[in-house]
């Protein structure tokens, strides 16, 4: 039960983070917001490690675990999350979050292509339901206008984000399956964030040529950092912890209920328009994910 509750806590944490990100993107470019959130969140996590006296655990992890966590961070947090922020700015929380949460569909695809697993009837049905949900969320009544084309691009970017996240999560799952306890799971999550945070700072003159992250207002920077703490500190820690207590087949679908929370929060807190199409698309994606992992 604790593992399932941890996965649900991750879903709620990611919903909260999306709200803060949307606020931050009102005053910053996605790449600038991602640099400052990763750098600051990585620094805060390292500080927590030092305060709780777990530096020995950090220095004691194997090179294999370090590489897995770092590569997962580069793919999922560096590239994937930058695209995620772009999609949030383009199409809003109520559409971007459900679309990015289809990553379990891609995770399943890797198990079929790489490990040769068989596709069952329920899996096939789940995939169809997810695709239908994506179609509901991606359709725009004004596809021929500039705004319509921008929205369509936001949809494509959100789906690309899900693809990258699926690879990142698979690497993360491999990493935490090798750790013996909660301390090590937290350290792996910390390495994942701190490694990409340091890397993005190092290459910031190239990827953010005007160094926009240094000129962000306090409220904008604060929203980016708080969002990062919820998503990367709390959310990913809870998901990693869930992986140590239960199977990925249980953790992933529960954590993927984020679309339901995000759609409700976007309507109530961000005043985004609630449409039947968006609501139905979000529900279908969550239902499809559960079908994928139905045993």
Question: What per-residue confidence (pLDDT) applies to 295?
Answer: 58
Across 145-167, average pLDDT: 88
**3-class secondary structure, 284:** helix
pLDDT digits (tens, 9 = 90+) for 217-241: 999 999 999 999 999 888 877 887 7
Question: What per-residue confidence (pLDDT) applies to 142?
Answer: 59
Provide, rounded to the nearest whole percent, the portion of the chain with pLDDT above 70. Answer: 94
How many domains does the chain fold into? Answer: 1
Lowest mean pLDDT among 25-34, 118-127, 160-169: 118-127
Smallest CA-to-CA distance from 262 within 237, 279, 248 is with 279
Question: What per-residue confidence (pLDDT) applies to 200?
Answer: 94
Phi, psi of 234, deg, nearest 5: -75, -55
Question: What per-residue confidence (pLDDT) applies to 84?
Answer: 96
DSSP letter (8 states) at residue 116:
-
Phi, psi of 63, deg, nearest 5: -65, -35
pLDDT at 286 over 70: yes
pLDDT at 178 over 70: no
Mean pLDDT of all residues in the chain? 86
* Residue keyed to tokens 């999922």: 76
Binned at pLDDT 50, 70 and 90, residue 248 comes out as low
Smallest CA-to-CA distance from 140 within 148, 150, 132 is with 148
What are the distances in angstroms from CA 215 to CA 158, 218, 221? 27, 9, 9
252 burial (CB, 10 Å; 0-12 / 13-18 / 19+) is buried
The encoded tokens of residue 283 equal 């529900």
Question: What per-residue confidence (pLDDT) applies to 115?
Answer: 65
77 burial (CB, 10 Å; 0-12 / 13-18 / 19+) is buried
Neighbours of 217 (CB within 10 A): 11
What are the distances in angstroms from CA 168 to CA 49, 68, 115, 162? 23, 9, 17, 10
Across 18-39, average pLDDT: 93
N- to C-terminal Cα distance for the chain?
A: 18
Across 165-170, average pLDDT: 88
Question: What per-residue confidence (pLDDT) applies to 144?
Answer: 61
Across 242-259, average pLDDT: 78
Across 85-99, average pLDDT: 92
Q: Which residues contact 251 (CB under 8 A, 6 or more apart)?
A: 3, 4, 6, 7, 239, 242, 243
Across 64-69, average pLDDT: 87
pLDDT digits (tens, 9 = 90+) for 96-147: 999 998 988 888 788 777 766 677 888 888 888 988 888 888 776 555 677 7
Neighbours of 147 (CB within 10 A): 11
Q: What's the number of CA atoms in the CB half-sphere (13 Å) around residue 265?
A: 20
Across 143-168, average pLDDT: 85
Torsion, Cα 30 168 197 219, to 10 degrees, reads 40
The encoded tokens of residue 161 equal 């984000």
Torsion, Cα 145 148 153 158, to 10 degrees, reads 180
CA 112 remoteness from chain centre? 23
Across 63-91, average pLDDT: 92
Give dist(CA 64, CA 186) in Å, integer.
Answer: 16
The encoded tokens of residue 14 equal 């990611």
Question: What per-residue confidence (pLDDT) applies to 88?
Answer: 93
Q: By residue range, what is the domain housing residue 176? A: 2-292
- pTM for the full predicted model: 0.87
Residue 220 and residue 27 in contact, taking contact as beta carbons nearer than 8 Å? yes
């Amino acid at each position: 039960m604790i593992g399932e509750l941890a996965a649900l806590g991750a879903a709620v944490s990611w919903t909260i983070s999306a709200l803060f990100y949307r606020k931050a993107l009102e005053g910053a470019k996605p790449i600038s917001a991602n640099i400052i959130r990763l750098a600051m969140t990585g620094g805060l996590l390292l500080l927590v490690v030092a305060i709780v006296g777990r530096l020995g655990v950090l220095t004691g992890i194997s090179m294999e675990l370090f590489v897995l966590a770092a590569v997962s961070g580069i793919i999922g947090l560096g590239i994937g999350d930058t695209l995620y922020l772009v999609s949030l700015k383009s199409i809003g929380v109520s559409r971007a979050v459900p679309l990015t949460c289809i990553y379990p569909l891609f995770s399943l695809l890797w198990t079929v292509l790489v490990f040769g697993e068989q596709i069952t009837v329920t899996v096939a049905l789940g995939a169809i339901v997810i695709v239908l949900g994506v179609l509901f969320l991606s359709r725009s009544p004004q596809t021929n206008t500039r705004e319509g084309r921008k929205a369509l691009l936001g949809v494509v970017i959100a789906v690309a984000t899900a693809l990258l996240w699926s690879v990142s999560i698979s690497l993360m799952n491999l990493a935490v399956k090798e750790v013996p306890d909660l301390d090590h799971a937290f350290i792996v999550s910390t390495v994942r964030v701190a490694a990409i945070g340091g890397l993005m700072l190092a290459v910031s003159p190239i990827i953010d040529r005007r160094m926009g992250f240094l000129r962000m207002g306090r409220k904008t920077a604060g929203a980016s950092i708080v969002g990062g703490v919820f998503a990367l500190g709390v959310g990913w820690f809870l998901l990693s912890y869930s992986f140590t207590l239960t199977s990925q087949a249980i953790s992933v679908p529960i954590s993927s209920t984020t679309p339901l929370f995000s759609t409700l929060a976007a309507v109530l807190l961000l005043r985004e328009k609630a449409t039947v199409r968006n609501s139905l698309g979000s529900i279908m994606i969550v239902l499809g994910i559960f079908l994928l992992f139905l045993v």
